[in-house]
Amino acid sequence: MAPGCGHPGWQRGGLFLDSRVRGNDGERTVYRITETYSELTLSMSANDPEGRPWTRRRLLEAGTAALQRRRIEPAQRQAAWMLAEVLGCTHAQLLAYGEQPVPEAAVAVFEAMLARRLRGEPLQYILGHTDFFGLRLRVTPAVLIPRPETEQVVEAALEAVEGVARPRILDVGTGSGCIALALKHVRPEAAVWACDVSPEALALAAENAAALGLEVTVLAADVLAPDVVDRVPADLDLLISNPPYIPDAEAATLEREVRDYEPALALFSGDDPLRFYRRLVAVAPRLLRPGGWLVLETHADFGEAVAALARTALDEVQVRRDLAGRHRIVVARRPGGGGG
Ligand SMILES: C[S@@+](CC[C@H](N)C(=O)[O-])C[C@H]1O[C@@H](n2cnc3c(N)ncnc32)[C@H](O)[C@@H]1O
Q: Could you tell me whether strands 168-172 and 191-196 are parallel, antiparallel, or unpaired per DSSP bridges? A: parallel
Asked if 112 and 178 sit in the same domain, the reply is no
pLDDT of residue 7: 26
The residue range of the domain holding 74 is 8-119
Ligand 1 centroid to residue 264 C-alpha, Å: 10
> pLDDT tens digit string along 119-133?
999 999 999 999 999
Does 2 reside within a domain? no
Residues 306, 143: Cα–Cα separation, whole Å:
24
Phi and psi at 196, nearest 5°, equal: -160, 165
Is the CB of 224 inside a 6 Å radius of any atom of ligand 1?
yes
**Domain boundary residue, one of 90, 119, 148:** 119
Asked if 75 and 25 sit in the same domain, the reply is yes
Asked if 169 and 230 sit in the same domain, the reply is yes
Residue ranges of the alpha helices (H) in 18-98? Answer: 56-69, 75-87, 91-96
Does 339 reside within a domain? no
Contacts of 242 (CB under 8 A, 6+ apart): 150, 153, 173, 175, 179, 296, 297
Is the CB of 222 inside a 6 Å radius of any atom of ligand 1?
yes
Asked if 33 and 138 sit in the same domain, the reply is no
pLDDT of residue 26: 30
> pLDDT tens digit string along 218-233?
999 999 999 999 999 9
Does 340 reside within a domain? no
Asked if 153 and 283 sit in the same domain, the reply is yes
pTM: 0.87
Residues 68, 56: Cα–Cα separation, whole Å:
18
DSSP class per residue in 80-141: HHHHHHHHT--HHHHHHTTTSB--HHHHHHHHHHHHHHHTT--HHHHHTEEEETTEEEE--T
- The number of beta carbons lying within 10 Å of the beta carbon of residue 2 is 5
Is the CB of 219 inside a 6 Å radius of any atom of ligand 1?
no
**Domain boundary residue, one of 67, 89, 119:** 119
Q: What is the residue with the minimal CA distance to atom 24 of ligand 1? A: 266
Does 19 reside within a domain? yes
> pLDDT tens digit string along 232-241?
999 999 999 9
Asked if 138 and 50 sit in the same domain, the reply is no
Ligand 1 centroid to residue 193 C-alpha, Å: 14
Q: What is the residue with the minimal CA distance to atom 26 of ligand 1? A: 266
Q: Which atom of ligand 1 is nearest to the CA of 198?
A: 25
pLDDT of residue 45: 66
Best mutation site among 132, 144, 248 for ligand 1 pocket (most ligand atoms within 8 Å of CB) = 144
Side chain identity at residue 205, one-letter code: A
Does 64 reside within a domain? yes
340 pLDDT tier (thresholds 50, 70, 90): low
**Domain boundary residue, one of 63, 93, 119:** 119
Asked if 207 and 247 sit in the same domain, the reply is yes
Asked if 181 and 247 sit in the same domain, the reply is yes
DSSP class per residue in 293-331: EEEEE--GGGHHHHHHHHHTT-EEEEEEE-TTS-EEEEE
Is the CB of 287 inside a 6 Å radius of any atom of ligand 1?
no
Is the CB of 247 inside a 6 Å radius of any atom of ligand 1?
no
Does 3 reside within a domain? no
Asked if 111 and 46 sit in the same domain, the reply is yes
Asked if 107 and 145 sit in the same domain, the reply is no
pLDDT of residue 29: 30
Asked if 159 and 94 sit in the same domain, the reply is no
Stated as kind and residue range, the H or E segment containing 193 is: strand 191-196
Asked if 196 and 75 sit in the same domain, the reply is no
264, with CB counted inside 10 A (0-12, 13-18, 19+), is exposed
Q: Which atom of ligand 1 is nearest to the CA of 223?
A: 20
Q: Which long-range CB contacts under 8 A does 313-322 form with residues at least 24 apart?
A: 313/281, 313/282, 313/284, 313/285, 314/281, 314/284, 314/285, 320/152, 320/156, 322/149, 322/152
Is the CB of 201 inside a 6 Å radius of any atom of ligand 1?
yes
Q: How many domains does the chain have?
A: 2
Ligand 1 centroid to residue 81 C-alpha, Å: 27
> pLDDT tens digit string along 133-188?
999 999 999 999 999 999 999 999 999 999 999 999 999 999 999 999 999 999 99
Q: Could you tell me whether strands 15-22 and 29-35 are parallel, antiparallel, or unpaired per DSSP bridges? A: antiparallel
What CATH number did the domain enclosing 260 receive? 3.40.50.150
